[in-house]
Amino acid sequence: MRNLILNADDFGISKGVNQGIVEAHARGVVTSASLMVTRRAAEQSAERARVHSSLAVGLHWDAWGEDGCQLDLRDDRAVRAEFTRQVDRFWELMGRPPTHVDSHHQLHREPGVTKLFEELVEPLGVPLRGGGRVRVIGGFYGQSESNVTNLEYVSVPFLQRMLREEVREGWTEIYCHPGYRTPDYQSAYLAEREEEIRTLTDPRVRTTIAEEGIRLRSYAEVPA
């Protein structure tokens, strides 16, 4: 069986991103989201998640904060403390544990950090992105290189090709970044987020998923 999770990163980074993720879930194919508890729209994202209870929500661990300062990833003690703080904050916001764990800019997959994160996530009993329980597919991203927009990579035909050629037997995640532009968030990746919403809510995508015999699932459904 081909089980597919479409996971939206950056839940909580802005009100516009929150809205885009909720729409891509309610009207489209997004099944899970990763919550940034460090950002100013985190409380609003938790409120949205409670309304849309079918959206699985995990932790999008963040080494930056609103002030832009980055945690020293070489400092294991600091990383452990910050991980614990963010898990505790997730509980405060959501009233339950995360369904999965990943990180902003995939920092947990940096050399020297991965094994520490495997150790930190193991007691939670949930999947860690790249940890082996769910195969991860990147590539659905609207910039061909840093700050160079290429909307082909978030188009309907591109996602359809990914579904047909890259989703294999077992569990697969395709991560995405839908969102709307709002004044509370500035980024080099904004027009691309809005294009992602259009693609993820396009009926042709759901049709392709059905034609391929793919089961659309969420992180909450991954076997323990």
Structure tokens given for 222: 């991954």
Q: What is the pLDDT of residues 164-223, one digit of tens each?
A: 999 999 999 999 999 999 999 999 999 999 999 999 999 999 999 999 999 999 999 999
> What is the mean pLDDT of the segment spanning 93-106?
96
Average pLDDT value for residue range 53-59? 98
**Half-sphere exposure (CA, 13 Å, Cβ side) for 215?**
11
pLDDT of residue 145: 80
How far is the C-alpha of 13 from the C-alpha of 85, rounded, in Å? 18
Comparing C-alpha atoms, which of 37, 113, 106, 123 is closest to residue 76? 113
Q: Could you state, in order of their start, the residue ranges of all structural domains in the chain?
A: 2-221
Percentage of the chain modeled with pLDDT above 90 = 92
The pLDDT-based confidence of 67 (bands split at 50, 70, 90) is: low
3-state secondary structure of 207: helix
Decide: residue 121, CB within 10 A, 0-12 exposed, 13-18 middle, 19+ buried.
buried
DSSP assignment string, 46-115: HHHHHHSTTSEEEEEE-SS-TT-PPP-TT-HHHHHHHHHHHHHHHHHHHSS--S-EEEGGGGGGSTTTHH
Domain 2-221: give its CATH code: 3.20.20.370
Cβ count within 10 A of residue 113 = 18
pTM of the entire structure? 0.95
Determine the average pLDDT of the residues in 82-95: 97
Nearest CA-CA partner of 160 in 214, 122, 109: 214
> Above 80 in pLDDT, residue 22?
yes
Tokens representing residue 13 in the block: 């980074």
